[in-house]
């Protein structure tokens, strides 16, 4: 018998995984453990996590209160996967969501379970808007991000995701300028109104307008409450459905449970995902006004619309964090700290021309004079064991999305690391800037 010697060595996991991988490139270590706002790699190094699963871990990694409910669910042999059959766990989630979230905010929505990703919730919302209005068009905004499936991608601004994939543009999507996209002297809502009014604008009356009240992936661009209210009024006036995409900014990220609470409006449709599953468990919802519930049974179907572990986790999180107003108060308190610290750092380096933007615990800083700086800061922060990601059309914005449960001490520690990194990266820049200023003055 002859034995053959293998001629190839085992490939690394990076060689096995597709080129499409992304976060593992920005943070090239292998993680083993995570708790709260911390993660540990296989060498035992501890990291502070200011990315929190891109807004999926609002209650932190492995939150012990939620974990107990997940373990209890598994140990009781309760149904884990039940398609969309009614289970005790699902019924409890629906009742809790109604009692703790919808009713106190006077929101009369029906709840649709869709496939467990944000992009699937967006697809469902766009399909429903088209079905109900009989119109095909959808207006979305510059720098908007709504997901990677074809319908959601069509209303996503950034061309990087559409590059060399024929058919991903157009698809009845029209982009309009978001709040502050242009100089503030230009009234972007007046522009939108003109497009909708003018029979010769080339833009047909759409089924819906889809909007993030704070654009996450697009660069932490914050729409004012006045602009959001104006958009709501415009939608009502033209009988266009308003869809608020709260996938990243919902579940407390901006302070209240929904990001649109500050503007005191009621969207026609709301999409939620990411942190609604509470423990990093996949789950997505479409909230729709009852009169819009014109779906026929199974018309937007899907195998994973009944992840009962996610229901158990979500119910526990709602009971624990959203029964009173303390959680919102604590988010607002930490928001103030984050804002103050970032403003201080921004002011210390005028040569970078930093702009600080954000609400709640979603903040971004953009060095207007040095767009490439954000990626350098991300890399340098990671070397100092702080996980912080970039966003924006050219990754020119550094994004801070810590767990909402992060302690004040951890939040400040992250800011200290950022301060050290900025000092190192910008010290020579500062000297050059000073010399230039002196030369100018001489
Ligand atoms: C606002 C918004 N909408 C939709 C999505 C898509 O969600 P998912 O990645 O779960 O498909 C995201 C993801 O980052 C998002 O931030």
Average pLDDT, integer, range 70-75: 98
Ligand 1 pocket, residue 179 CB under 6 Å: no
Could you tell me the distance, in angstroms and rounded to a whole number, from the CA of residue 376 to the centre of ligand 1?
A: 25
Instruction: Give residue 8's pLDDT.
Output: 74
- d(CA 54, CA 86) in angstroms, rounded, equals 30
Instruction: Give residue 192's pLDDT.
Output: 97
What ligand 1 atom has the least distance to the C-alpha of 152? 4
Average pLDDT, integer, range 392-421: 98
Phi and psi based region of residue 354 (left: phi greater than 0; alpha: psi -120 to 50; beta: remaining): beta
Average pLDDT, integer, range 80-87: 97
Could you tell me the distance, in angstroms and rounded to a whole number, from the CA of residue 119 to the centre of ligand 1?
A: 6
Average pLDDT, integer, range 126-155: 97
pLDDT band (50, 70, 90) for residue 199: very high
Number of alpha carbons in the 13 Å side-chain half-sphere of residue 96: 20
Instruction: Give residue 188's pLDDT.
Output: 96
Ligand 1 pocket, residue 144 CB under 6 Å: no
Closest residue to atom 4 of ligand 1, CA basis: 146
Q: What is the DSSP string of 239-298?
A: T-EEEEE-TTTTTTTTSSSSGGGGGT---SEEEE-GGGGTTT----EEEE-GGG--PPTT
Give 29-49 pLDDT, tens digit per residue.
999 999 999 999 999 999 999
Give 315-356 pLDDT, tens digit per residue.
999 999 999 999 999 999 999 999 999 999 999 999 999 999
Specify the 3-state DSSP secondary structure of 225: helix
What ligand 1 atom has the least distance to the C-alpha of 144? 1
238: Cβ contacts below 8 Å, ≥ 6 apart:
196, 205
Parallel, antiparallel or unpaired: strands 46-49 and 173-176: unpaired
Ligand 1 pocket, residue 145 CB under 6 Å: yes
Q: Is residue 286 pLDDT above 50, yes or no?
A: yes
Ligand 1 pocket, residue 94 CB under 6 Å: no
- d(CA 411, CA 49) in angstroms, rounded, equals 10
Instruction: Give residue 429's pLDDT.
Output: 63
Q: Is residue 441 pLDDT above 60, yes or no?
A: no
Ligand 1 pocket, residue 61 CB under 6 Å: no
Mutate to test the pocket of ligand 1, among 20, 119, 125 (most ligand atoms within 8 A of CB): 119
What ligand 1 atom has the least distance to the C-alpha of 54? 14
Tell me which residue of 271, 279, 313, 283 sits closest to 405, measured CA to CA: 279
Could you tell me the distance, in angstroms and rounded to a whole number, from the CA of residue 197 to the centre of ligand 1?
A: 31
Give 367-392 pLDDT, tens digit per residue.
999 999 999 999 999 999 999 999 99
Ligand 1 pocket, residue 122 CB under 6 Å: yes
pLDDT band (50, 70, 90) for residue 427: confident
- d(CA 157, CA 428) in angstroms, rounded, equals 36
Q: Is residue 422 pLDDT above 60, yes or no?
A: yes
Could you tell me the distance, in angstroms and rounded to a whole number, from the CA of residue 56 to the centre of ligand 1?
A: 10
Q: Is residue 442 pLDDT above 50, yes or no?
A: no
Give 233-249 pLDDT, tens digit per residue.
999 999 999 999 999 99
pTM equals 0.95
Ligand 1 pocket, residue 141 CB under 6 Å: no
Could you tell me the distance, in angstroms and rounded to a whole number, from the CA of residue 84 to the centre of ligand 1?
A: 22
Could you tell me the distance, in angstroms and rounded to a whole number, from the CA of residue 422 to the centre of ligand 1?
A: 30
Quote the longest CA-to-CA distance of the chain.
Answer: 88
Q: Is residue 16 pLDDT above 70, yes or no?
A: yes
- d(CA 154, CA 150) in angstroms, rounded, equals 6
Lowest mean pLDDT among 26-35, 76-85, 169-178: 169-178
User: CA separation (Å) from 374 to 146, 347, 364, 388, 394?
Assistant: 23, 16, 10, 10, 10
Q: Is residue 171 pLDDT above 90, yes or no?
A: no
- d(CA 72, CA 201) in angstroms, rounded, equals 58
Average pLDDT, integer, range 154-181: 90
Domain range 13-63+326-441, CATH class: alpha beta
What ligand 1 atom has the least distance to the C-alpha of 120? 11
Share of the chain above pLDDT 90, in %: 91
Mean pLDDT of the chain: 95
Ligand 1 pocket, residue 280 CB under 6 Å: no
What ligand 1 atom has the least distance to the C-alpha of 245? 1
Domain limits, the chain? 13-63+326-441, 65-321
Residue 251 CA, chain-centre distance (Å), reads 10
Instruction: Give residue 333's pLDDT.
Output: 98
Instruction: Give residue 169's pLDDT.
Output: 76
CATH placement of domain 65-321: 3.40.640.10
């Amino acid at each position: 018998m002859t034995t053959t010697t293998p001629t190839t060595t085992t490939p690394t996991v990076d060689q096995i995984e597709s080129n499409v991988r992304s976060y593992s490139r920005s943070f090239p270590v292998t993680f083993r453990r995570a708790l709260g706002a911390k993660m540990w790699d296989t060498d035992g190094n501890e990291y502070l996590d200011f990315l929190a699963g891109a807004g999926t871990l609002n209650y932190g990694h492995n939150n012990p209160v939620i974990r107990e409910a997940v373990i209890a669910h598994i140990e009781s042999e309760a149904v884990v996967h039940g398609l969309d059959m009614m289970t005790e766990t699902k019924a409890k989630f629906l009742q809790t969501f109604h009692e703790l979230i919808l009713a106190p905010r006077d929101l009369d929505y029906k709840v649709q379970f869709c496939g467990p990703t944000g992009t699937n919730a967006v697809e469902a919302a766009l399909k429903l808007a088209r079905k109900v209005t009989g119109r095909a068009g959808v207006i979305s905004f510059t720098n908007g991000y709504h997901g990677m499936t074809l319908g959601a991608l069509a209303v996503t601004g950034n061309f990087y995701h559409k590059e060399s994939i024929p058919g991903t543009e157009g698809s009845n999507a029209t982009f309009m300028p978001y709040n502050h996209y242009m100089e503030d002297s230009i009234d972007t809502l007046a522009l939108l109104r003109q497009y909708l009014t003018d029979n010769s604008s080339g833009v047909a009356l759409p089924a819906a307008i889809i909007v993030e009240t704070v654009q996450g992936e697009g660069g932490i661009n914050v729409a004012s409450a006045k602009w959001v209210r104006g958009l709501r009024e415009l939608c009502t006036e033209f009988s266009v459905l308003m869809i608020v995409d709260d996938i990243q900014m919902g579940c407390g990220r901006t302070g209240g449970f929904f990001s649109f609470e500050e503007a005191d409006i009621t969207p026609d449709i709301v999409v939620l995902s990411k942190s609604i599953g509470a423990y990093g468990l996949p789950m997505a919802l479409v909230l729709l006004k009852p009169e819009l519930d014109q779906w026929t049974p199974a018309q937007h179907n899907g195998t994973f619309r009944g992840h009962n572990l996610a229901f158990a986790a979500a119910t526990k999180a709602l009971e624990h964090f959203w029964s009173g107003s303390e959680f919102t108060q604590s988010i607002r308190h930490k928001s103030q700290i984050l804002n103050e610290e970032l403003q201080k750092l921004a002011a210390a380096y005028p040569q970078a021309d930093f702009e600080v933007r954000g609400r709640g615990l979603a903040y971004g800083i953009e060095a207007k004079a040095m767009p490439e700086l954000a990626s350098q800061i991300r890399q340098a922060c990671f070397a100092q064991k702080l996980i912080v990601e970039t966003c924006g059309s050219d990754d020119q914005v550094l994004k801070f999305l810590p767990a909402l449960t992060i302690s004040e001490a951890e939040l400040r520690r992250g800011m200290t690391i950022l301060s050290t990194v900025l000092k190192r990266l910008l010290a020579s820049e500062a000297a050059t800037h000073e010399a230039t200023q002196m030369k100018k003055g001489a």
